[in-house]
Structure formats: structure tokens, C-alpha cells
Amino acid sequence: MLKEPISITALSSISSLGGGAQEVWNSYLNENHCFSKLEIGKQEVWASPLNKEVQKSIETLRQSDHKYKDLDDSVLFAIYTARKVIQEAGWKSGSNFGVNIGSSRGATSLFEKYHQEFLEQGKSSTLSSPTTTLGNISSWVAHDLKSKGPEISHSITCSTALHALLNAVAWIQSGLTDKFLVGGSEAPLTPFTIAQMQALKIYSRETDTHPCKAMDLKKNQNTMVLGEAAALACLEKGEKSNALALVAGIGYATEPLEHSVSISTDAQCFQDSMKMALKSAGIDKVDAIVMHAPGTIKGDLTEYNAIKKVFGESMPFLTTNKWKVGHTFGASGLLSLELAVLMLQYQQYIPTPFYQNKNEQKKLGTVMVNAVGFGGNAVSILLKSSNP
């Protein structure tokens, strides 16, 4: 069990859902998805870009400092979101807090640009190395905020943001720090990234009203759509008066895989991570689960099977945001966590268009958030309402 609760004192994100908590919540309340057809490389595909207002804000940030003009979008997304979230938490620039912001792909756009230049010219740009390292995100955020705590950055594919939260919990419980800024940032709408997903035969080719059918357990083709986003949370030791929600339980697991992108029929990694989260919180039931559910046939179904194995007849309310906002890779876990916190705050269940839940009337007290990445790296975070 956790030694004591850990408070989420602020949450902020940018995505196609919007750039502020109220705007994001309003997006969840409507029945429309946030996808559009974009020309990426030499093809038109479904994608989930930042909305126009946020795009303008990112460009303003890029031009605000000569050092920022050569940074990748994934880094700028994180800097912009980090400024907002620490202001919401009341943390001062230059104070003592840790930073752990990861990414599945990192500086994708710059990497593709610099590699293309290398192929054409036979030499590399001076800035190609320092601007494309995965550690770039946390180090630039820490530089921008002048924070004095530890700076960590990692990639654990699509479960990266929730692994950042796990790591922060360990730091806080160790007594080495009381505060941590955690999350993920991703800017994957690039030609090579889209081509990689198409090579795996998981990218959406849908032509109907829903390009991504996450949690449609009867779909006959994969429907994953990529989106760009950054999502960050401020964590603080103990139960704070300004807490949006409490981290009550944590779980993680991996499983031996036969293929680098495969997962077992009953997602053993998810079974283990959910059981661990329940045990660490000292409970055996939850009211809702925000699923990873990437919109692929196998990915959605195996996670659902795992939930059935763990909860049996006491199935929680199930939902996901990927049918609306797409898969944002390393940022996706924190976007899901944001949805969970908003549901707890507003005491409202947010359904999907495809899966019919049986009970949406019960008071929301606990919500579990799941994420998993290539390699079977599952994480489950159990949240409790800060106002029981």
C-alpha cells in the first residue's frame, strides 16, 4: 500500500480537445470526434492536431526566445503546458520540484528533417544531436521553469506518461522530494511516423462517421488514429486542500511477448497491473476505468478480457477518449488521467459511442486509468475523489 496519498494539485493539457480544463470538459460533453483529414507527406490521412488557437500559442512561444526557434514541437508543447500547470498549482518558478516528462518518439519532426538533410548532403546539421535527444523535453522544461529538483526523461512507448507518474511516486515516497511535475508530450503527425503505423496495418482507413472505433469490440478492421498532445500533472506529498484527486493505488507489469507489438489474449500484463493497483489501495472494486483502448481489434479486446478476468461480475463503467482524440503515444496516459479526474470532479460518467455500460448512476468515488506500450509495459493508476 502507498505510505500516504499523493495529491494531484493541478492538471493541464493541450490537444485537439482544447487548451484549458473547461474547454476540454466541454469537448468531452459533446458527441463529436476531433479528427480531421490532413495532408501528411504525400498522402491524406485521419489525424488529431492541436486546435488552431493552441497552434498559434505554440508559434508565439517558438518566436519568443531565439533558443526556442530550433526546438521540436514535442519540446515546445511541454514547455507551454508546464508553464500553465505550475501556475494552476501555485508553484513558483525557481522552486524545488522534480520534472519527469517523457515521450514515446521524442523529436520526431526534427529527426526526420535532419536525417533527410544528411541523406541529401552527406553531412549533419550542428544542432541535429542536441535537439533530438529524448532527454530534451524535461531538460528544456526545467530550464524554462528554473526548477531545482531532479530532471528525468524516459520513453516506455505508449505508457510513458503513467510511468513518469510511477517514478514520481517513488521519489516522493522516498522522502527525497515533496513535489513532482510529470507527464508526456508527443508530436507524431509526421510522414515517417504515419508510415510506420500503416506498415503495422493498424492505422485507420475508415470512411464513416467515426474514424477511430476505440472500444467497438465488434469492429473488423484496425482504426488507430494519431494525435498530438502534451498532458502534465503536479503531484504533491500528502492530502492537500487544493487536490483535484488523490493517487490511491499504483500498479505495473510486463509480460513475455512472442512479438514486439503483440499482447496476450487476456492481457496478462493488464491483469497484473490492475490487481497490484487494487492491492496497493486496499480495495477490490472501482467505479470506472479509463481504458487504454487504442482502437485496434486486438488491443481493445485483450484489455477488455483482462478487465473481465479481474472484476468478474462487478464490472466497472468502461470508457476511453481515443475514439475522440486519437492515440497521442507518450502523452496518452496523462490525457486519460485528466479525463478520470474531470469525471471525479464533475461526478459525471463520459461514455463512448460503441460500448454500452450497465450502470452510470452510481456516485463516482474511484477511477482506474490504464496504459500499455509496445513490449507489454502496462500501468494502472487508481484515483480517489478528493471530496468523498
Contact 99, 142 (CB under 8 A): yes
- The pLDDT tens digits along the chain (388 residues) read 788 899 999 999 999 999 999 999 999 999 999 999 999 999 999 999 999 999 999 999 999 999 999 999 999 999 999 999 999 999 998 889 999 999 999 999 999 999 999 999 999 999 999 999 888 899 999 999 999 999 999 899 999 999 999 999 999 999 999 999 999 999 999 999 999 999 999 999 999 899 999 999 999 999 999 999 999 999 999 999 999 999 999 999 998 766 555 567 788 999 999 999 999 999 989 999 999 999 999 999 999 999 999 999 999 999 999 999 999 999 999 999 999 999 999 999 999 999 999 866 689 999 999 999 877 899 999 999 998 6
Q: Name 87's Cβ contacts closer than 8 Å, sequence gap at least 6.
A: none
Identify whether the C-beta of residue 385 lies closer than 8 Å to the C-beta of residue 366.
yes
Q: How far is CA 67 from CA 93, 193, 269, 290, 339, in A?
A: 19, 26, 42, 38, 34
Which DSSP state fits 59? H
**H or E element that contains 318:** strand 317-319
For residue 362, the model assigns a pLDDT of 81
As a residue count, the chain comes to: 388
Whether CATH 3.40.47.10 fits 6-385: yes
- Residue 201 is predicted with a pLDDT of 96
Domain coordinates of the chain in residue numbers? 6-385
245 pairs with which residues across the strands? Answer: 8, 385
What pLDDT is stored for residue 266 in this prediction?
83
